[in-house]
Structure 1
Amino acid sequence: MGISEKEPTVIATAATPDSRSESVLPFAETGQSSSEELDIQGDCIPDGGLLAWRQVLAGHLGSAVSSGLPATFGVFQLYYTSTFALPAAQISWIGSVQVFCSNCACVAGGRLTDAGYAREAILAGSTLVVIGLSLASIATQYWEVLLAQGLCTGLGLGLIWMPSMAVVSSYFKKRRALALALATAGTGTGSMAFPATVQYLVPYIGFAWAVRCLGLVILTMLILQSLLLKPRFAKPKTRGPIIEVGAFKELTFLYFTMGTFLFYWALYFGFFYVSQLLRNTPIP
């Protein structure tokens, strides 16, 4: 009988959410993906408990802001069209730039999360969102609103969304689908709360103060999210490309990306124009 060769045993120290110094080799040295890193320490994934479900609530709040606010632009579309006396197609560029910047900023937000800076990314995004809404409330020109609400706020939304979802995923394995569904359901929460805030306050305190109140509501939600959030990444990916080009070699992922790209072409038409359509359509 030949002598069987045993594979070398790898001993991994379980890292707590607050510690990174005891984790094993970084990504660049192990060559394993982020999902594989979590599977290595599968026994350490809570998959439930008060702390884990607290992250779901934090993700719900983050999703309410990052995905719910762009869906609110229909209210702004109606006001800007009448205020600036510009075509609706030109006004919609504000919301379009916001959505575009939000998706592009997810690249930076995801990379920062991989490197272990999820909380810092959300803090930076929260700052940009609040500053953008504050500047939009005092803007008097079209280009000012485009830069404030379109560019600044959009970049902040992208930095919030990706870390929020990544932290939720790191706490669950068997219940990951349920946890992510509850977290992303925050889109509906924001889509209901934010338009109502602006629409019902404008007749009483004016548009500028209504936007500032909206910013205060969003700031409160983001502060609560930061208090609830507790990232836990055993091995931060400190080195590597910003964009994993090799992932597009997998046909399933490539088709999913193409489908999502085409999906966004039609998604926001209703969000942007439904209020204006109802305003201009006579009721028999």
Structure 2
Amino acid sequence: MTSGGNTNSAVPGAVVPDGGWGWIIVFASLMIHFIMDGITYSMGDVFLRPMMGNLNKTRGPVSTIFGILPAITLATGPIATIFTNTYGCRKVTIVGACLAAAGFLASYFWANLWFYYLAIGIIGGLGFGLIYLPAIVSVGFYFETKRSFAMGIAVCGSGLGTLAFPAVMPYIINAPLWFDYEGALLLEAAVIFICVIFGALMIPLPQEPSEIRRVERKARAEAKRQALKAGAATSLNNEQQGPLLPTNRE
């Protein structure tokens, strides 16, 4: 996977693949953008009127649901950065996908405006925020000379998703199989959960901050273990030599 790559100057011995498994990462990022942005930027068009009718609310309060979602997604950026640097792209993406899917799943069970603010807007937005950053950052770790091209392909998913979801979701909402828009929310929860698979594809590289921290923690733990071992050996040696001292004086 690393053959033919470029050496990363920031981390001695680390190699940027510039291809190989990196293209799988690009595909995973593209699909994450396809799902996440496709859902985010189509909800107002797809769910506004059905929710207005079911909740018996005007356009403004219902539209707020679709405003909270991207707002929380983008506001989560600093938190997602800390988590990504600490735990890595893979773990953060998986947790974010589970969180967002849980929010959309919860909205299926109770049709209430304020609950939608919480479940779709806040919980879903937090999950999307944890997905969004690693989907971009992971591509950068795998590419050096082709980074711009790879990222360009990855973010194409946003446009494709924004095009596809508004075209497909109305048919799903109106299909006899589903119970109005709640069934579509349940389906979107399942689609969001698929991002767990794409997150699992983000194999960490040595130059990721989380991997650097992991190696440092391992080195510190090993040094501490060696120090304790050396201290125990010294203590045992002193105990063994202690009884001999009076004999030597005699």
Q: Counterparts of 1:82 and 1:194 in 2: how far apart (Å)? A: 21
Pairwise CA RMSD? 2.4
Amino acid corresponding to residue 73 of structure 1 in structure 2: M
Amino acid corresponding to residue 200 of structure 1 in structure 2: Y
Q: Counterparts of 2:118 and 2:108 in 1: how far apart (Å)? A: 12
Find the counterpart in structure 2 of residue 93 from structure 1.
64
Find the counterpart in structure 1 of residue 26 from structure 2.
56
Find the counterpart in structure 1 of residue 197 from structure 2.
224
Q: Which has the higher helix share?
A: 2
Amino acid corresponding to residue 121 of structure 2 in structure 1: G
Structure of larger gyration radius: 2
Structure 2 matches for 1:138-177, cutoff 5 A? Answer: 138-177=109-148
Deviations 1:3-29 (A, max 9, x none): xxxxxxxxxxxxx9xxxxxxxxxxxxx
Deviations 1:25-70 (A, max 9, x none): xxxxxxxxxxxx9543597111122x01011011112212332221
Amino acid corresponding to residue 30 of structure 2 in structure 1: H
Q: Counterparts of 2:204 and 2:135 in 1: how far apart (Å)? A: 9
Find the counterpart in structure 2 of residue 201 from structure 1.
172
Indicate how the Cα distance of structure 1 residues 235 and 176 shifts in structure 2: closer, same or farther if over 3 A, else same.
Answer: closer
Residue pair 2:88, 2:208 contacting (<8 A) in 1 also: no
Q: Counterparts of 1:67 and 1:40 in 2: how far apart (Å)? A: 33
Amino acid corresponding to residue 211 of structure 1 in structure 2: L
SS at match of 2:145: coil
Deviations 1:145-202 (A, max 9, x none): 1111111101100000101111100111111111111111111232234334431122
Moved more, 80-89 or 161-170: 80-89
CA positional deviation for 1:116: 4.0
Indicate how the Cα distance of structure 1 residues 116 and 214 shifts in structure 2: closer, same or farther if over 3 A, else same.
Answer: closer
Question: Is 1:114 the equivalent of 2:88?
Answer: no
CA positional deviation for 1:108: 1.4
Amino acid corresponding to residue 154 of structure 2 in structure 1: A
Amino acid corresponding to residue 117 of structure 1 in structure 2: G
Q: Counterparts of 1:116 and 1:143 in 2: how far apart (Å)? A: 33
* Residue of 203, 207, 213 corresponding to 2:187: 213
* Residue of 22, 39, 54 corresponding to 1:69: 39
Indicate how the Cα distance of structure 1 residues 235 and 61 shifts in structure 2: closer, same or farther if over 3 A, else same.
Answer: closer
Percent pairwise identity: 25
Residue pair 2:141, 2:208 contacting (<8 A) in 1 also: no
Moved more, 143-152 or 112-121: 112-121
Aligned pair count? 202
Q: Counterparts of 2:129 and 2:103 in 1: how far apart (Å)? A: 13
Q: Counterparts of 2:36 and 2:208 in 1: how far apart (Å)? A: 27
Q: Counterparts of 2:113 and 2:197 in 1: how far apart (Å)? A: 33
Q: Please, which runs of 5 or more residues in structure 2 have no aligned partner?
A: 214-250
Residue pair 2:173, 2:184 contacting (<8 A) in 1 also: yes
Find the counterpart in structure 1 of residue 100 from structure 2.
129
After TM superposition, the score normalised by the length of structure 1 is 0.65
Indicate how the Cα distance of structure 1 residues 99 and 235 shifts in structure 2: closer, same or farther if over 3 A, else same.
Answer: closer
Indicate how the Cα distance of structure 1 residues 119 and 192 shifts in structure 2: closer, same or farther if over 3 A, else same.
Answer: same
Residue pair 1:197, 1:214 contacting (<8 A) in 2 also: no
Q: Counterparts of 1:63 and 1:209 in 2: how far apart (Å)? A: 22
Q: Counterparts of 2:100 and 2:168 in 1: how far apart (Å)? A: 17
